[in-house]
Chain A
Amino acid sequence: MHFLSQPWPWYVGGPLIGLFVPALLFVGNKAFGVSSSLKHICAICMPADISFFKYDWKKESWNLFFVGGILIGGFIAAQFLNGQHPVNINPHTAELLKQNGVKDFSSLLPGGIFSFHQLLTLRGFIFIVIGGFLVGFGTRYANGCTSGHSIMGLSTLQWPSLVATCCFMIGGLVMTWFILPHLLQL
């Protein structure tokens, strides 16, 4: 039980994540991926006569059960497996973030930015709303996210996924190094 209550190092978490690739293939010949679920939600809730959302989403409903499970898994980890705690990050990163105005290091994400109180501030709106929009728009445009491209795609040696993964990194680096310090100080 001691192991379950501690954060897991990369060499435990990473291989376990990798096992979902063969697990989903064995269970039902499904390709591991998460961002398609966002497309299915559009297809169910608001297809609006857009051809991209007119398909038989029921055939893909497994993916919605999978993401629903992820949400429940998050709940279980936080409630019963001590998943909600301060993250032991590199002190240099913490120092840098403090200089940029991040104050709250008590949970998995900075509560001073990601909260309903902050939603209507410019900074909160950018982090909570604009950020999410870019994630949803970008993953669909790229035809996959970290799971579908970086894990499933790279595991199956598909070069378009390598291109996509490199672009994820480039976008993230540009944001982190050149834009985010300004956004944090809004």
Chain B
Amino acid sequence: MKNIKYLIAGILFGIVLVKSEVISWFRIQEMFRFQAFHMYGVIGSAVVVGMISVWLIKRFNLKSADGETIIIPKKQFTWGNVYGGLIFGLGWAITGACPGPLFALIGTGFPVIIVTLLSAVAGTWVYGLIRNNLPH
């Protein structure tokens, strides 16, 4: 039952994704064509709020609900950030959705996106299969 809180967080996150229209294919097109500020505003202000929050957490050494010291996992650079990033970008512009929005879209009533999600799972699986042969 300890996972219920993450389910609730996910529900709230899904609602925000839909209400701010970031799950819309059209919004992603607008973004990549630099014809609207909407998506840049969403991502930019999300990062600013995230940054300030993390700064406050570190500054005041705030603890998690269980009283643990908050740990921020370090991201190691690999060339996968570049090659994978480019590949993901290509896919993002086609589907108009990154992984979070894929789940939200299914919920909003586009059952065909289940196919896209399964295909994304297949993509992840194939990466796992061939990753030792890929440059990192």
Residue of A nearest to B68 (CB): A29
In the complex, A101 Cα to B31 Cα: how many Å?
19
Partner of A93 from the list B5, B36, B90 (CB cut-off 8 Å) is: B36
Complex interface: chain A residues within 8 A of B126 (CB):
133, 137
Whether A140 contacts B124 by the Cβ 8 Å rule is yes
The number of A-B residue pairs with CB atoms under 8 Å apart is 513
A144 to chain B minimum Cβ distance, whole angstroms, is 7
Whether B95 contacts A65 by the Cβ 8 Å rule is no
Interface membership of chain B positions 51-77, coded 1 if the CB is closer than 8 angstroms to chain A and 0 otherwise: 101101100001011101011111111
Given the interface contacts A81-B15, A128-B119, A134-B90, does A17 sit within 8 Å of B20 by beta carbon? Answer: yes
- Interface residues of B toward A: which range? 35 or more
In the complex, A6 Cα to B98 Cα: how many Å?
23
Whether A135 contacts B64 by the Cβ 8 Å rule is no
Given the interface contacts A135-B97, A166-B85, does A68 sit within 8 Å of B33 by beta carbon? Answer: no
Partner of B24 from the list A18, A87, A136 (CB cut-off 8 Å) is: A87
Contacts from A to B (Cβ < 8 Å): 4, 7-32, 34-35, 37-39, 41-42, 45-46, 48, 50, 52-53, 61-63, 65-78, 81, 83-84, 87, 89-90, 92-94, 96-97, 105, 108-110, 114-116, 119, 126-147, 149-161, 163-177, 179-180, 183
